[in-house]
Every structure is written in C-alpha cells, then in structure tokens.
A and B are shown apart, each in its own frame.
Chain A
Amino acid sequence: MNKNEIEEEKVLIFIPSYNDNLSALKVAQEINNDLPKADILIVDDGSKEEIEINKFSPFYHYRLETNYGLGVCTHIAVDFMIAHNYSYLVRVDADGQHPVKEIIRMIDKLKLKNADCVVGSRQNHNDKKNDIVKNMVKKYYNLLSKLITQNKAPADVNSGFFAINLKSANLIKCQILERFPEPQIYILLCNSNMKMVEINIMQKERVTNRTTLTFFHALRMFYRFNIFLLTELIRSSRK
C-alpha cells in the first residue's frame, strides 16, 4: 500500500500536548508534510503557555483550561473521530519521540490485516541501564498484561504510539479513561476480542522539555494499574 492509497481513507492524527506546544507544532507540521490529506488534532492539556494557532491553520486545536490528563484528551479525540466518521485514529506524542514515518505502516496494518488496533512497540525504551526500578516496573506491567489478556497484549503496554479503527473507538468511548491510559486501552481491547497487531519502532530522542511522568505520577499510575487489573480479573471471571 502506498501513500496515495492511504490518503483515500479518512485519517485523524491526534497529538496530545502538555507544556510541549512548540514541539507539538513541529510534529504536526512534519506529519502534515508526510500525509497532507490526514487531519491533525492537537489537544493542549492545560499547558502553562497557550499554543498559538490561528483559525486559518490546517490543524484542529482544542485547549483545555486546566490539566485533565491524557484520558480526557484521548476521549476528546475519540469523540471527534466518531462524530466526523474518520476511519482511523493515530496517536502521536508531542515530544517528537515517535517516528512519524511509521504512521503509514500502522494504517497499512489496520487496513490490510483487518486489525482493530496497531501498537508501536518501542525497541529501545529499556536502553537506559541506570533506570533499574523503572525497567522492572515496565516488565511487571508487560508481564501482568500478557497474563490477563492470555498473551494478546502488546509487548510494550506503555507505548503511546497507537492507531485504532472506528470499532475500537466506539468501545473506548464508553469507558472512563484515566491519566496515562495506554495499558487500560490495550487490555480493554484485547479482552474485548479486538485484533491487536504490533509493529516494532525505534523511539527517537525527546526534542524539548521533560517527561510529564514524575515520581508521584508513576506511583499513582502503578496503583491505578493494579486496581484496574484486579477489576478486570473479577470482570473476566464473572463472564
């Protein structure tokens, strides 16, 4: 499948941004150069400095007045996708770490392999040997996700680089997504028998700013993940 064939489909690229506005615009511009027919939605999650986009810009833009977290941003993008009948939604991080060139490959997998969700599994995200605890936690997430989904979950459940079709979007719309919702989304889709496909990607260096995931965020995320797994476990045993 080539670019032109993909451009026939209605594709929405969603870029959530929190204090990454300059970089978000660069990423949006890069995607726009690569896939000019795809619509791009930037959701500013209450950044300290407001992003400057005029109404004649090719990008859709929505600013939340306060920080609600990635879950609410994802809901806004999914609602927009469903309301305007887009075939595919691709999420790309604003920090420039996701390889934009891989978007075509993701849509390709959604279309030709009839996948409901394609996840870009980062091959180089465990490279920092100093982050022993961080790497152990990630391995814990991945292992438990594999267990609860009977090995259907992607190898990297914390990857924010994913693409979904309308069927998956309708399922996500009915959920309540929390901050850093990626594991929740993938486990939910796997347990709902959606077809999950993985592609291997090489994550790039962060262009600007630092990660939004602080120590306390990570601790809360760990707590939330375990509670979510427990509820999923009870839910699946009831079925």
Chain B
Amino acid sequence: MIQITVLFCIMIIIFILLYYRLVQVDLTFPWFLSLIILGFVGINHDLVVKLASFFQIYNEPLVIVFLTFFILFGLVTVLLIGYTNLRLKQIQLVRKIAEIELMNQSFFKKNK
C-alpha cells in the first residue's frame, strides 16, 4: 500500500498548493491525470506484467520506471505549452500598452 500512500501524499501537496492559489487549477490537471495512471499501474500487478510482455521488458518493475519517465516528459511538455501561451499573451499585452502610451505621446505632440 506504499504506492497509494505516496500518491495520496502528492495529491494532498497539490491540493495545498491549489488552496493557497500558488498554482493554477487548470495547470494541475495533467498532474492529476498522471497520478491516477501511476496509482492504477502501481496497484495492478497483472497490468504491469502484461505491459512488460507487450514491450518485451524482462525486468517487470522497469515498466513503472519507463512509464514515470514518459509521464514526466508529458508533464514538462504540457508546462512548456502553457508557458509559451502565457508568454505570447504577455507580449500581446506589452504591445497593447506600448500602443496606448505612444498614442498618448502622439496626442500630446500634436496639441502642444
């Protein structure tokens, strides 16, 4: 039951982060999904054996390690996409603010 305890602890940490609004709820969704997958694989021994035979992995617990790497890579990619979107939105805002400021300068220069 150690797997479930660890996953439960991670979920509590994520909930605390959400409670104090340190992370945005939408961005934690991939975390939530990956925890469910890891939890399911962690307690389901038959599934691990089937996955190991499917991917021809002789040492069965390695399936969990590879799955964790895969999920981590997915999480980082999702975060990168999120960060890129935020950066683009920030640049749009910066451009808009600059446009307004320069419009004010133009108005001032024309009316001085």
Contact = CB atoms under 8 A, between A and B. Distances in A.
A64 B102 contact: no
Contacts of A41: 102
Interface string B68-112: 000000000000000000001001001100110111011011001
A60 B104 CA distance: 10
| Interface SS of B by simple majority | helix
A interface bracket (residues with beta carbon within 8 Å of B): 10 to 19
B102 A72 contact: no
B105 A61 contact: yes
Contact of A72 (B95, B105, B108): B95
| Interface SS of A by simple majority | mixed
Interface string A169-196: 0000000100000000000000000000
A146 interface: no
Contacts of B103: 83
A172 B100 CA distance: 20
A181 B91 CA distance: 15
Given A55-B108, A56-B112, A80 B102 contact: yes
Interface in A41-70: 41, 43, 55-56, 60-62, 64, 68
B94 A64 contact: yes
Contacts of B95: 72, 75-76, 79
A129 interface: no
Contacts of B88: 176
B16 to A, nearest CB: 31
Interface string A203-234: 00000000000000000000000000000000
Interface of B: 88, 91, 94-95, 98-99, 101-103, 105-106, 108-109, 112
